[in-house]
Chain A
Amino acid sequence: MSVFLDCKGMTVRFGGVVAVDDVSLSIDSGGEVVGLIGPNGSGKSTFLNAVSGLVPARGRIEVEGRSVSFGRPGVMARNGVFRTYQTPQVDAELTCLENTLVTSPDLALRGLLGAWPLRPAMWRREKGRWQEACDILDRVGLLDRANRPAGGLSYGERRRLEIARALMAKPRLLLMDEPAAGLNTTETGRLADLLSQVTADGISLVLIEHKIAFIEQLCHRIIVLELGRQIATGAPKEVWLDPAVMRAYLGEAV
């Protein structure tokens, strides 16, 4: 396995506050899972936002050894890096199927040509895309709701729909911001199953998460942030024993 994404010295400043301070992260292709943890406000989400081009940042990002300009949203998606959000982002007005279809990397006949003069060809192309989206919806267990508006979904279902949309983009790497937040024990278990299936297909994951059992089940490696700085890294079991991590989470004995 080779390094897929390599972020070096990522720094994000909001005015005088350094939200992310010189954080580096590299992740292998082919299904590696890295957990990004830390107390609230330690800069985990900001780091993901910086990588996906939502906040201005300094640093260097390489995808498979090629340097990537990451300042604008959409660049990372075109490089095979897709992300989900802390609050699941689905278009309430569109159906589940449509919410999944929008990220299809097959862009052919999705403009005016497909809408007007080349409709028969567009139909043929669309059928392939529908089939693919249906398969993915089936995988996340939402196929029976394919034609219902996403606005009627429960919180947990919205999470799964967001994952379906991410999978539709055929990413090499998924950046997930607290995918298990707000899910009950059963739903969290299902999500872990789904994600291990996803990694078995060769998609790597970066997970921001607070649920320890969830992290231990999935992650090969963990990076711990505190106040924007990386304070520890390693296998899950080792990291919990690190004195710096204990201090960050539990505070210091007086």
Chain B
Amino acid sequence: MSVTESGPPASASPLTSASEKLAARLVRPTVYTRHQGRTWLAVTVVAALVPLVVTSGYGYNIAINSGLFAILSLGFYFQFALAGQFSFATPAYYAVGAYTSAWVSTDHGFLLGFIAAVVVTAALGGLTKLLLARSPLIHFAIATLAFSGLVIIVLENWTSFTGGDEGKFGIPPATLFGYQFDTQTKQYYLIAGVALICTALLLLFERSPAQRDLTFVRDMGLVAKTSGLRANYLQVVAFAAGAAYMGAAGSLLGATTGFVDLNSFSSAASVSVALLVLLMVLLGGIGMVWGPIIGAIVLTVLPQVLSSWQNYEQLVYAIAILAVILVLPGGLTSLPAEFRARRAKRKQRAEQ
């Protein structure tokens, strides 16, 4: 007894034949057919060519900062866009990652320092989410704000660990298997490389059953829980992974500048790091991995470009952000889709 057989006569026959044809072969979820490997390669090539354009130390500072913020934004994207967890704790993971890496790498080298930063911040992120597992979205956001403040206060007062107001000096520069990243060009390549690996990992995660389950948990809440999905486990894991990205960025900050102090984590260009990263992700767009990267680059470069406007810098910056968010609520990465939709609409109107 087939369900389609008893359907309305008008649609019965095409429906049945279509499903018979499909039953013969396996249907795979569309997400697995949407390959982004080529885009990733193209971005890698562009990133590799950046030193052709950038020549000054000032230019490299901007490029390195863009890379660090790209990693931070990708971490935030992991937590917010994929796991559906809105957090203000970015500065906490960034700082803990930086100091952990600074101490471990002084004695045991950069690689172990980097790994330690990733592991410690992942554990800290997982713990944050685990302790707040029952808090709904907005409560969770406020709780992470408090948590972040708490971590910063602890670090401020733990001067033997953080170096207090003067900061921690003498962090050894990054070395990998004997190769020293001692020039700005090499450091840029290191950070761009890590950012690209972070991106690739996110692309793989998005094409995995973990993301499918996570999306269902994010969108359906209690229904997902009553359906027996491992809601808490998946969210803890994804939140921890996002925190680990931020820890990795912290580690790279110390390994490239040789120095960290608490000011690097609380604010950049007079905007709090937590808000700046949120702004980057929203401006770039939360629809795809490329959004946070574009947002990070734009919001690192823009203030530098605007600095020649002196008094109007803040004003133009604010207006530019408002304009993008009002005109393109999906972020800069939604521009092609938006453009295509408009063209299709215009075509339709012309045909009428």
Interface residues of A (CB under 8 A from B): 52-54, 73-74, 76-78, 82-83, 85, 89, 91-95, 97-99, 101-103, 105, 107, 109-112, 114-116, 119, 122, 126-127, 129-131, 134-135, 138-141, 143-144, 146-147, 160, 165, 169, 186, 189-190, 193-194, 197
Contact = CB atoms under 8 A, between A and B. Distances in A.
Given A103-B228, A116-B201, A119-B204, A93 B215 contact: yes
Given A103-B228, A134-B23, A141 B233 contact: no
Interface string B208-240: 111111011001101111111111011001000
A218 B66 CA distance: 64
Interface string B48-60: 0000000000000
B28 to A, nearest CB: 6
A10 B219 CA distance: 30
B23 A138 contact: yes
A93 B215 CA distance: 8
Q: Which 7 residue pairs across A and B have the least CB separation, nearest first?
A: A77-B228, A115-B208, A73-B225, A73-B226, A141-B3, A110-B209, A144-B18
Given A110-B210, A130-B27, A147-B27, A91 B215 contact: yes
Given A101-B209, A141-B19, A189-B6, A134 B228 contact: no
Given A130-B27, A190-B6, A143 B229 contact: no
B205 interface: yes
Contact of B7 (A78, A135, A165, A190): A190
Contacts of A77: 226-228
B285 to A, nearest CB: 16
Contacts, number: 141
B242 to A, nearest CB: 12
Nearest to B226: A73
B223 A85 contact: yes
B336 interface: no
Contact of B4 (A101, A114, A141, A169): A141
B204 A116 contact: yes
Contact of B204 (A76, A115, A160, A197): A115
Interface residues of B, number: 45
B241 interface: yes
A120 to B, nearest CB: 12
B26 interface: yes
Contact of A186 (B7, B230, B237): B7
Nearest to B212: A98
Interface string B271-290: 00000000000000000000
Given A85-B223, A144-B18, A190-B7, A74 B26 contact: no
Binding site secondary structure of chain B: helix
A173 B229 CA distance: 18
A99 B1 CA distance: 25
12 contacts: A53-B226, A74-B225, A74-B227, A82-B228, A93-B215, A95-B29, A102-B212, A122-B208, A134-B26, A135-B23, A141-B3, A141-B15
B251 to A, nearest CB: 20
Contacts of A126: 209
B204 A95 contact: no
B220 to A, nearest CB: 6
B204 A102 contact: no
B45 interface: no
Contacts of A131: 26
Contacts of A140: 3
A102 B15 contact: no
Interface in B134-148: none
Contacts of B205: 112, 115-116
A130 B222 CA distance: 25
Contact of B1 (A54, A102, A110, A193): A193
Nearest to B9: A186
Contact of A141 (B7, B220, B234): B7
Given A141-B3, A143-B23, A76 B226 contact: yes
Contacts of B178: none
A15 B231 CA distance: 29
B30 interface: yes
B7 A122 contact: no
Interface in B1-33: 1-4, 6-8, 15, 18-19, 22-23, 26-31
